[in-house]
Structure 1
Amino acid sequence: MPIDTADAAESYVHHAEGIGAGRPIVFAFHGTGGTETQFVPLIRELRPGSAIVAARGDVSEHGALRFFRRLGEGRYDMDDLARRTAAMTAFVEAQVARARPSEVIGLGYSNGANILASVLFSRPHLFHRAVLMHPLIPWTPPPAAISTKVLITAGERDPICPPQATRALEAWLRAQGTTVRTAWQPGGHEIGRGEIPAIAQFLQ
C-alpha cells in the first residue's frame, strides 16, 4: 500500500525551519553518531534564508545513529539500504510537496552522504544540487540520467572512503551525464577546513 504523503512527511524525527513556498530548501543528512542538527548551523551560514529539513537516522549501531544497517566497514546490508532508501525518498518527496520550494538541495556527510546518494540514484531529478561529503558507494548503481549537479568532497588519506572509491563514484556520475566536481583535501575522513569554502562556492 502506498505511503500517505502526510504520513511520509512525518516518518522521520527531523528538524525543520524556515519552510515557505518559493524558498529554496536544504535537506541535511548527518554522519554516523550525529544528529539531525549536526549541519543546521553550517547551512544557516552558507545558505541564509533557505528552509532546512534534517532527518534523524533511525538505525542504531551500538548507540550511534545511522540511516541504514551495515555488516562491517564498507559492507552494507543492501536489502536494508533498499528499504530505507525508499522510506527516505518518500520523506523527501513529501516534504518537497508540502514546501513547494524554488530549489531542492541535499547535503550529507559519510553515512548521510551515502543515503543521499542512494536517494539520488533512485530519483535522478529530485535534487537540483547535492553535496556528498566523504561518501562511500561500494556497489555499482544501475544507469540513471542524473540531472543533479553534484559536489563530492574527499580526503586524500581517508581510511574509510578510499580515494579510489571516490574516483569510481565520480567516473560513474560523469558516465550518467551528471555535472560533478570533486574537492580534495589532504586529510582523512574528517571534514577538512578547505571543504567549507568549496561547498560555499558550490551552493552560491
Structure 2
Amino acid sequence: MTDPYHARLRAPDPGAPLIFAFHGTGGTEDQFFDLVRQVRPDAGIVSPRGDVSEGGAARFFRRTGEGVYDMDDLALRTARMAGYVADHKAAHPGAPIYGFGYSNGANILASVMMARPELFDRVGLLHPLIPWDPAAADLTGRRVLITAGRRDPICPWPLSERLIGWTSAQGAEVATEIHDGGHEIRQGEVAALAGLLTG
C-alpha cells in the first residue's frame, strides 16, 4: 500500500480495534499517538500528518479564513482520506475501525464520516466546526462522541448543537461532553474519549 501521508503506525493486536487519530491545526502525527497507547494499549494506530501547510502549520484541508473552508479542496481531501482509511481497513480485515480528531482533525474526520459512513464503527469529534449543511448519511449502528466548549471562539456553540442534532437524526448513537470553556480539550473530554475507545 502506498501511503499518501506521513504517519505513525502501529498494527493492532488480535481482536483489537484500529484507531485513526487526527491532529488539530499545527499538530503532528505525534499529538495523540501516546494518548491512544495509554488508553488502548492493544489497539492499532494510524496517526497521519495533515498534508496542507498554512503558514507552516499542518492541516488536513485548506481554508480562506477562520471558519471559511475551501469546499472544493475539502471534497478532494475528504476523498483522499476516505481512500486512505479504506486501504488501512482492508489491510486489517475484521478489526473494528475507530477514529477521533480534534479541531481541524475532527473536521476532516466528520467530512469522511458524512461521505463514507460505512468506514468507521466509532467516531470521536473533539471541537468540530461544520459550517455547511451536510447531506443525509446512514449512521445507524455507529457510536459518535461530540465534544464542545460553550464559549469556544473557533467553533460556535450553535453550530456544535446543530451537528449533534444532525448526527442523532442520521441514526447514530450520540454521546456528548460539553464544558463552559473555549477551544481547549478538558479532562472530561479525555475521559469521554477513553470511554468511546475502550467501552
Give the structure-1-normalised TM-score.
0.93
Residue by residue over 1:93-120, the C-alpha shift from the partner in whole angstroms, topping out at 9 and shown as x without a partner, is 0011112242100010000000000000
Of 128, 133, 137, 1:135 maps to 128
In 2, the alpha carbon distance for the partners of 1:47 and 1:19 equals 10
Amino acid at match of 1:53: V
Question: In the alignment, what sits opposite 1:169?
Answer: 163
Larger deviation, residues 193-202 vs 55-64: 193-202
Runs of 4+ in 1 over 6 A off after TM superposition: none
In the TM superposition, residue 202 of structure 1 has moved relative to its aligned partner by 2.3
Question: In the alignment, what sits opposite 2:64?
Answer: 71
Larger deviation, residues 54-63 vs 186-195: 186-195
In the TM superposition, residue 186 of structure 1 has moved relative to its aligned partner by 2.0
Give the 3-state SS of the residue equivalent to 2:46 in structure 1.
strand
Structure 2 runs not aligned, ≥5 long? none
Q: How does 1:79-90 map to 2 (within 5 A)?
A: 79-90=72-83
Name the count of aligned residue pairs: 197
Question: In the alignment, what sits opposite 2:189?
Answer: 195
Larger deviation, residues 53-62 vs 12-21: 12-21
In 1, the alpha carbon distance for the partners of 2:35 and 2:8 equals 14
- 1:50 paired with 2:36, answer no
Give the structure-2-normalised TM-score.
0.95
In 2, the alpha carbon distance for the partners of 1:20 and 1:68 equals 32
Question: In the alignment, what sits opposite 1:3?
Answer: none
In the TM superposition, residue 129 of structure 1 has moved relative to its aligned partner by 0.4
In 2, the alpha carbon distance for the partners of 1:38 and 1:71 equals 24
Of 153, 157, 172, 1:159 maps to 153
Of 75, 96, 100, 2:93 maps to 100
Of 111, 115, 125, 1:118 maps to 111
Give the 3-state SS of the residue equivalent to 1:194 in structure 2.
helix
Amino acid at match of 1:190: E
Give the 3-state SS of the residue equivalent to 2:105 in structure 1.
helix
In the TM superposition, residue 46 of structure 1 has moved relative to its aligned partner by 1.3
In 2, the alpha carbon distance for the partners of 1:45 and 1:153 equals 20
Structure 1 runs not aligned, ≥5 long? 1-5
Amino acid at match of 1:112: G
In 1, the alpha carbon distance for the partners of 2:45 and 2:94 equals 11
Larger deviation, residues 146-155 vs 160-169: 146-155
Native 8 Å contact 1:20 1:99 kept in 2: no
Native 8 Å contact 1:107 1:132 kept in 2: yes
In 1, the alpha carbon distance for the partners of 2:69 and 2:158 equals 18
In 2, the alpha carbon distance for the partners of 1:173 and 1:87 equals 23
Of 7, 19, 23, 1:26 maps to 19
Larger deviation, residues 172-181 vs 65-74: 172-181
In 2, the alpha carbon distance for the partners of 1:192 and 1:59 equals 27
Native 8 Å contact 2:152 2:183 kept in 1: yes
